[in-house]
Amino acid sequence: MKEPEIIGAGPDKVLCIIGTRPEAIKMAPVISAIANCPGLHAHVLMTGQHREIASNALESFDIHQINWLDISSTSHKLADQAGELLKGINAYMAVHHPKYTLVHGDTTTGFAGALASFYSAVPVGHVEAGLRSGELSDPFPEEANRRLADQLCHKLFAPTSIARDNLLREGLSDEKILTTGNTVVDAVRHLSRKIKPARELDELRNVLGPQKRLALVTTHRRENWGDPMRHICQAIKHITKAHEDLQVVLPVHPNPVVKDMVESVLKNVPRVHLVTPLSYEALIALERDADLILTDSGGIQEEAPEFGTPLLILRKTTERPEALESGLAKLVGTCEQTITDEAAHILKGKHTKIDRKNPFGDGHASQRIATAVETHINSTH
């Protein structure tokens, strides 16, 4: 059997399970912090949902040692995916015997990783625990995944005080919870210091026109498939037409359900640039340099406040109320007229950046998590 790829020199293994690019981004600084603990080493297991773009995201943080879990099922049914993940992760743990597991967020990979760890009697920590939309089926299945994972975990790393309060309200023990800040702030601060302006990046140099204001749009979530996404795209079309000094960059998700809808409305619309999925560095550069962001992404809701870029959230609910309360974001749903009006309100000003403190963290969340994991493992020796 091939020896696993590890990061760090300590004797105790911490298994870091990742499925998607957002998970890779938010776990990258945690992996680095684990590897820098003298008693630990990090063992990265990726389940392959976003294989290329997730591994590229880790490489942005100089993390190249990746172990792959190859899932045989090609089914798009959530129950089939969850079953395959649980079976595969459980078998992997039986061979590699980690001392601790870390999972992230609200994906099926995270939930299956927490359940497999629970079944294997391996303590598991949930990075970004306690986020809640308040509706079990919105977003689907993410809200259920995060609630179920929280019930299984040894330690709950809550990114904010609101997330901590959610966990306490559900009856979870205060001793299990550690408020850390969000690791995405660590990631964004690390990368933004070394990324060139968006217009100077190879990926965007031939896309972005000079001397025009910039809007970044991302939309892909399952609850927005169909008519909601059509309304979003129609709104983008109207916004661009109404603001002749505006150009829009929209990285198109490869899922045919998303791709076909976006292209049917926005292909060949002047100053709307439909591009293939971008590297994380390019995405961060756009978030930093944009005048406006419209998104249904959870991660961007946390990243954009670092740059003070105004954000319109294309969803009915959000599990990140901190962005709303800080005044850095507004929940606008998928109504075509509402999106158009709110964008016009922001773009009417000459200077759109908002000078507010990032409500999601101070850039030291990853070290707090690594220290907590190392302390627990040392207490069991």
Q: Which alpha helices (H) appear in the chain, and where do they start and end? A: 21-35, 51-59, 78-96, 108-119, 142-152, 161-169, 183-192, 202-205, 227-242, 256-266, 280-289, 298-303, 321-325, 336-347, 365-380
> Which pair of tokens denotes residue 271?
């100053």
322 is catalytic: no
| Residue 106 known to be catalytic | yes
| Given the residues 12, 23, 84, 142, the one annotated as active site | 142
Question: Which residues, at least 6 apart from 375, have a Cβ–Cβ distance to it below 8 Å?
Answer: none
Residue of 12, 23, 128, 296 marked active site: 128
**Residue 126 among the catalytic residues:** no
CA dihedral (41, 127, 362, 42) in degrees, to 10, reads 10
Catalytic residue of the set 104, 126, 220, 221:
220
Contact 88, 47 (CB under 8 A): yes
220 catalytic? Reply is: yes
**106, 203, 291, 374: which one is catalytic?**
106
State how far the Cα of 262 lies from the Cα of 229, in Å rounded to an integer: 8
* 193 assigned to active site: no
User: Which among 51, 190, 253, 271 is annotated as catalytic?
Assistant: 253
User: Quick one: which of 77, 15, 22 has its CA closest to 320?
Assistant: 22
What's at 95, amino acid-wise? Answer: V
- Active-site residue, from 41, 189, 213, 222: 222
Tokens of 159: 């990114």
Catalytic amino acids? 106, 128, 142, 220, 222, 253
